[in-house]
Amino acid sequence: MSGSGRIKNRNVKVDRARKALGISGQATAEEARKQYRELAKQWHPDVNPGADAHARMQALNEAYAFLMKEEFGILDPWDEYDRWWWRQYGNDPIWGSYFPEEDARGETPRRPKNRLREK
């Protein structure tokens, strides 16, 4: 192993991630997602006041993200949530990610003139 201590074998990383989530080698992405959610309910620091809850939750997040990307080909496991948020709130100025739309040239369009002020 190199001096950095990093694991180079992808299969070992996948096995460790599966073990961290407690799923078998034949588990599907949906089963991994369900198991992750169950473990997150148990280990989230807001729910579990234990000293190791934060570290355990970080390890679960890393294992889940790694499995989704490397094993199941889902590049961003949070993409589904992002799509839900966008459908729910869209360009709402309070809850959403409100940015003025850009025109075709990449410039932010100017606000229309206030016709009442011109008179």
Take residue 73 and report the two structure tokens written for it: 């080909």
Which pLDDT score is estimated for 80? 74
CATH number assigned to the domain comprising residue 36: 1.10.287.110
Domain enclosing residue 14, as ranges: 10-74
Amino acid of residue 75: L
* Predicted TM-score of the model (pTM): 0.60
In whole angstroms, what is the distance from residue 22 CA to residue 32 CA? Answer: 9
In a domain, 52, yes or no: yes
Instruction: Count the domains in the chain.
Output: 1
In a domain, 45, yes or no: yes
* 10-residue averages of pLDDT along the chain (119 residues): 60 92 93 95 92 93 91 76 76 60 53 53
Which pLDDT score is estimated for 1? 45
